[in-house]
Structure 1
């Protein structure tokens, strides 16, 4: 006799129903029917009963729930036949294929990978709920790209062998653009001035790249905060954004944003007081105050003050200090007084410093950059300095610091540095182009973190129209525990400047090797020393300048241009306080480099140069750069300065608007530039963002004034010889390399100067 006990479909509607009650019985056997792909063992694992045991109503309900929870079955029934338990299942279909039609905005393989992560993939069990979630997520992705008119139709097609095919048909439509941003309620500042603070904008000539004409809730939130900060930093303490309205046209192509604001009154600061447990003398805090009584209120400067106080306490070991400013507003006088409450908390020291995430880089490579010591008082400045030094190594994508309290203590913390390693080995092949060097090809194999030791090894090839270089370099930044670096270089270089530059004709082939040592003398200062041996073969031609021919005069018994050997000792000092190496806005950079060719080399000369660069931030997006570069060189003993060691000026990197290396003394016959033994360069450059680029720092426009020249050894140094130029420059850190353009107009030139108003460079030229 066959009796139906429970149906899965009924169980889905009724958790428990007395109508399906049955008398418990002893199971003689268990049989599973309806399986096509699923193993019978999978079903048995979810059954709470075994042969020989008594089967109850509760176990039946548990079996139904367990089998449904697997997601493998559309329906589950349990029947009994002569005390044999029969489990009848109806399997869900498997996904045979997933197709996308009309998708252009996203990569189809990437979409399939994303669907797989949520459980929707070929060969997996089909689940309608997962399909609905995937469809909604795809719609959300199109909305995030500004395609509000996108229509997605999902079709599920049954196939043989209980399979289905899923097809996403997408009509992407056009990207909705911001047509207008309006601000209502502004009286003090013009609407255009306020909209310049926004990253979101209406379509412009560069928005195809920045996408800032496409609505984004995150970008709008950031813009609103910029607007709020703008008012609060100018004294408008009661400023408020009353409403934000974002509307889209019925055809879903145009977006309009309207902001309603209340500016309020402008407040001045009447007093700044300190209260609480000050720990340090009040004068120490007064030195940190950047907002003064009588000045216009600025939230930015108030925040700077409270942060400076907290950092100062952190430097004394108070890791968990609370510093809060409480305002006292006098609306009648339009004044605000601030009481800064200081709660230093308990002074703590560092129990242990932990390093995590460095699967390849050795612990010692990270720990030797630490400035905070274990067992010492907590020092926020030293911890931040440690993080900065670790980040500067270039081995990690991220460097995060946490300072959790030690459980069970009130005066101890651990400092955890968590890093995320990046690939430091590179195999690169590149090409560039410049107005002076023409085609520039380069290839290199390098490992900046060799075997996780922090050492670097580079094998490079660089070739352009005028030069070809093969080089092998190795550097150990911690040859000693004190941070003394050791490096060596091997190179073979061919240089023929006359092929691309306005320089007298000659050719050199140099082979050499050098040894370098570097010594840190401060957090931002270092000195270096080097010694290199060089063998150069100099070739002159019948049309070479007479100065070059005289240098290689075969009548000189003690000199042979086919084998010019030199032993060069070098020394240098540098100080780098810039806020960024790639896109600086503030700080300074100084460098001194000197080299001396000493006996027993065939040439004997001295050469020294000094560079000082200063950056001044102006507002939020602007910066002024001033640069000075001077150099001097001279032969000594009875030797003259080799002409190929001369200084040159002109072109990108010195005085724009003049041909590369063309400024200075010239040959009386060929009129080619000879270079000189003294050089002065000066640059003033005002940087500002490219209109329409928003906060993208890879685009930079600048207006510049350049000055400079070189003097020959017999010429008198006269500042009236300086050449001047002015113009505009554009730089872009493009994906294929740095790109630089300049349009320079000479302000002062001399007869015979070679001009080149438009100059450009793509890629790095070594």
Structure 2
């Protein structure tokens, strides 16, 4: 070997194996690079190597440059080994490529689905088609172990290894032994005197293994959950005036087999404080009395952290109503420990008034921007108003197109008087297949259905078609609703339908009533929550000729003929103040509808009214109340047409009774309903354990009461039916689903009972 070439190559070879420290003298004389060659590549483009080098052909090579080149090439993660050779005035880069991953096999993993694990592995550098090293495998093992720790699987073992799979290819084998989760066998609180241990434990989400732990998984320990529970304890005491309350470091111990966990928490309660006074300090825009009225904390009462927080938020919200979006509001306590008193000082700085520069909409892949923007009551270039923003959020949520709606305020950099609003929505499936079904010993299984597109082509319009082939009714109908028929928000609905039906419990083999109808209806907004409806329609009813025709049908046909035509006029009113149309937890809803037909043979008036009220309760629960009344009367001496009767029983009325079975029964045994109806419903919604209080999936308990009456029947409490039971409410991909199982609390002889019922596409 040429001695000069050897002397030149030796320092470079040493640099490839050791980090060259600053200050070490170079043994290679700088030289001009005439050529750069790359050896050892099989997959990587030579341009990738050349781009990483800190020098080019024609530039001067130095030892420092060689060290930097080695570091840059190793940093690409593509090579297991890199060496620089100097051959005359040529520089040769010799590399050994890392093998690339041909497949990733995971064995023994049950806690996490594979389709969620692979993206997580990619984030730490492991993916099919990418080079791999032992350092990457170490990161994979560490990341998976950390994920198992978060699920209380402290005994989980993870091993990642490389197996040959061909030239320059390897297969990554990840073997997992999950073991069983470590469960909390004992959770103890010490130092508490004012409140019992059971009371404090009920405030925590963690708990010792119990009957429902397999659902809620509350016995699986994590530090994050424990910290959250300790904060809940602090809030519990602060709501009761214990301002000196403190939690000492909890003691968490795990058994040698890493399966059982004991948690001991020691608290220092202190004493409760009484509010001695409340003072204002700062700029209250000359409206001191107005802002003071928002403070719910009263002198002489025990300090309540929730009241303090609510007062602080109410004051900040009032500032935002005047355009001060970033008002700084704080309530500072000054403690008199000797006497157990606390003086509160409300400090406020409105800062600068701001206006909304731009409203950005995101998350609407299908729904058009205009559908969302037309519900906004906070406008661009207008002063910021928190109440208008809240109203905008509720209006967007009430559309029913989104499972989640959030409006976030974002300051505009460099402009302290401007903000942007980011409207983020999460779309839900709006193509619903609505099903109604039930089971009884006599009727067995029955089902009806329709198809509804609540957000047709993302326009916000509703289109529905009903095709029903049930035992008692066959129908085909179409409906189109345009919420914004005009720019001012006047809505229009068009309905066309044809239906043939037999009364409930009829034994006829052919239809006994056919109805052809068409109608148009306009909705006129009169306020943010109120709307008035005006409409007109045309309807023809044809009574059949079945041998088993109910007596009521025969009498009506003899007096008015088998064909009956009506031109009904409709007048309605609606007020919607719910926080959601799909799964409301607060707010109210009322509607009133009058159908009037004064110009035809079938002259009648039909009135229907409904009211709903929702209230949020502790622990993620909520209460829903519903009441509905119906009244029908013939006009001008004409009898009220039987085909406009109200029906009761079943879902939407009094559950646990057969659908439509309440009310008058014809001598032939069919259900005729009645001219007057009333029913009330109460539902207590409870979140399903382990779902994080998801309002789209909830258990509920219910109580129903009601009945229908004929025109000559007295309305008395003795005839009211009642029921109670439990059920499940789920906003499924095919529409709202309600399952219920109930028992009658009050029933009369001859009533038909149907304990289990379910329906998709209905509420109450």
Mark yes or no: TM-score above 0.5: yes
Decide whether the 8 Å contact of 1:663 with 1:753 is kept in 2. Answer: no
Partner residue in 2 for 1:679: 677
Cα distance change, pair 437–731 in 1 and its aligned pair in 2 (3 A): farther
Decide whether the 8 Å contact of 1:497 with 1:505 is kept in 2. Answer: no
Structure 2 residue 542 is matched with structure 1 residue 532: no
Cα-to-partner distance string for 1:704-761 (whole Å, 9 max, x where unaligned): 3x4322221223x3424432435332333275752332433334x44x3415273332
Structure 2 residue 240 is matched with structure 1 residue 231: no
Aligned residues: 752
Structure 1 position 169, deviation (Å): 0.9
Cα distance change, pair 257–502 in 1 and its aligned pair in 2 (3 A): farther
Cα distance in 2, alignment partners of residues 455 and 142 from structure 1: 47
Decide whether the 8 Å contact of 1:205 with 1:692 is kept in 2. Answer: no
- Secondary structure of 2:578's counterpart equals coil
Cα-to-partner distance string for 1:286-314 (whole Å, 9 max, x where unaligned): 32121211222111011111111111122
Cα distance in 2, alignment partners of residues 754 and 713 from structure 1: 20
Decide whether the 8 Å contact of 2:394 with 2:580 is kept in 1. Answer: no
Partner residue in 2 for 1:285: 291
- Secondary structure of 2:200's counterpart equals helix
Structure 1 position 632, deviation (Å): 0.7
Cα distance change, pair 421–267 in 1 and its aligned pair in 2 (3 A): closer
Cα distance in 2, alignment partners of residues 267 and 764 from structure 1: 52
Partner residue in 2 for 1:34: 40
- Secondary structure of 1:663's counterpart equals coil
Cα-to-partner distance string for 1:387-414 (whole Å, 9 max, x where unaligned): 332343344565444545556655x323
Structure 2 residue 674 is matched with structure 1 residue 636: no
Cα-to-partner distance string for 1:197-245 (whole Å, 9 max, x where unaligned): 2223344444333333322434333332322222211222222222323
Cα-to-partner distance string for 1:248-292 (whole Å, 9 max, x where unaligned): 322222233322212221222221221222223332123212121
Structure 2 residue 526 is matched with structure 1 residue 521: yes
* 1:446 paired residue among 427, 450, 453: 453
Partner residue in 2 for 1:719: 716
Cα distance in 2, alignment partners of residues 223 and 121 from structure 1: 38
Partner residue in 1 for 2:645: 646
Decide whether the 8 Å contact of 2:397 with 2:581 is kept in 1. Answer: no
- Secondary structure of 1:192's counterpart equals helix
Cα distance change, pair 652–181 in 1 and its aligned pair in 2 (3 A): farther
Cα-to-partner distance string for 1:162-203 (whole Å, 9 max, x where unaligned): 322211111121233332322222222222222222223344
* 2:477 paired residue among 471, 482, 487: 471
Unaligned runs of 5+ in 1: none
Partner residue in 2 for 1:709: 707
Cα distance in 2, alignment partners of residues 8 and 470 from structure 1: 86
Cα-to-partner distance string for 1:665-709 (whole Å, 9 max, x where unaligned): 233x345432211122234555566789874553334353x4322
Cα distance in 1, alignment partners of residues 688 and 364 from structure 2: 39
Cα distance change, pair 496–722 in 1 and its aligned pair in 2 (3 A): same
Cα distance in 1, alignment partners of residues 127 and 360 from structure 2: 41
Cα distance change, pair 649–245 in 1 and its aligned pair in 2 (3 A): same
* 1:300 paired residue among 299, 306, 320: 306
Unaligned runs of 5+ in 2: none
Cα distance in 1, alignment partners of residues 345 and 139 from structure 2: 52
* 2:431 paired residue among 426, 436, 440: 426
Superposed, which structure 2 residues align to 1:318-467 within 5 Å?
Answer: 318-355=324-361, 361-396=367-402, 399-405=405-411, 412-420=417-425, 422=427, 426=431, 428=433, 433=438, 438-440=445-447, 442=449, 444=451, 446=453, 448=455, 450=457, 452-461=458-467, 464-467=470-473
Cα-to-partner distance string for 1:310-332 (whole Å, 9 max, x where unaligned): 11122122222222112122223
Structure 1 position 36, deviation (Å): 2.1
Cα distance change, pair 421–183 in 1 and its aligned pair in 2 (3 A): closer
Cα distance in 2, alignment partners of residues 691 and 372 from structure 1: 37
Decide whether the 8 Å contact of 2:38 with 2:94 is kept in 1. Answer: yes
Partner residue in 2 for 1:559: 561
Structure 2 residue 669 is matched with structure 1 residue 663: no
- Secondary structure of 2:664's counterpart equals coil
Superposed, which structure 2 residues align to 1:42-191 within 5 Å?
Answer: 42-191=48-197
Cα distance change, pair 638–325 in 1 and its aligned pair in 2 (3 A): same
Cα distance in 1, alignment partners of residues 509 and 299 from structure 2: 66
Cα distance change, pair 589–212 in 1 and its aligned pair in 2 (3 A): same
Partner residue in 1 for 2:596: 596
Cα distance in 1, alignment partners of residues 368 and 223 from structure 2: 42
- Secondary structure of 2:188's counterpart equals strand
Structure 1 position 384, deviation (Å): 2.4
Cα distance in 2, alignment partners of residues 583 and 170 from structure 1: 41
Superposed, which structure 2 residues align to 1:475-514 within 5 Å?
Answer: 475-498=481-504, 507-514=512-519
Partner residue in 1 for 2:730: 733
Decide whether the 8 Å contact of 1:504 with 1:672 is kept in 2. Answer: no
Cα distance change, pair 572–204 in 1 and its aligned pair in 2 (3 A): farther
Decide whether the 8 Å contact of 1:432 with 1:764 is kept in 2. Answer: no
Decide whether the 8 Å contact of 2:701 with 2:727 is kept in 1. Answer: yes
Cα distance in 2, alignment partners of residues 264 and 212 from structure 1: 29
Structure 2 residue 228 is matched with structure 1 residue 222: yes
Of stretches 431-440 and 45-54 in structure 1, the one that deviates more from structure 2 is 431-440
Cα distance in 1, alignment partners of residues 431 and 389 from structure 2: 31
Structure 2 residue 707 is matched with structure 1 residue 700: no
- Secondary structure of 2:653's counterpart equals coil
Cα distance in 2, alignment partners of residues 47 and 693 from structure 1: 54
Cα distance in 1, alignment partners of residues 44 and 357 from structure 2: 56
Decide whether the 8 Å contact of 2:503 with 2:672 is kept in 1. Answer: no
- Secondary structure of 1:193's counterpart equals helix
- Secondary structure of 1:728's counterpart equals strand
Cα distance change, pair 215–644 in 1 and its aligned pair in 2 (3 A): farther
Cα distance in 2, alignment partners of residues 409 and 545 from structure 1: 76
Structure 1 position 22, deviation (Å): 1.2
Of stretches 614-623 and 58-67 in structure 1, the one that deviates more from structure 2 is 614-623
Structure 1 position 652, deviation (Å): 3.7
Cα distance in 1, alignment partners of residues 612 and 450 from structure 2: 31
Structure 1 position 533, deviation (Å): 2.7
- Secondary structure of 2:185's counterpart equals strand
- Secondary structure of 1:674's counterpart equals strand
Cα distance change, pair 185–582 in 1 and its aligned pair in 2 (3 A): farther
Cα distance change, pair 688–138 in 1 and its aligned pair in 2 (3 A): closer
Decide whether the 8 Å contact of 1:503 with 1:673 is kept in 2. Answer: no
Cα distance change, pair 15–39 in 1 and its aligned pair in 2 (3 A): farther
Structure 1 position 352, deviation (Å): 4.9
Of stretches 154-163 and 426-435 in structure 1, the one that deviates more from structure 2 is 426-435
- Secondary structure of 1:552's counterpart equals helix
Cα distance change, pair 8–109 in 1 and its aligned pair in 2 (3 A): farther
Cα distance in 2, alignment partners of residues 710 and 445 from structure 1: 30
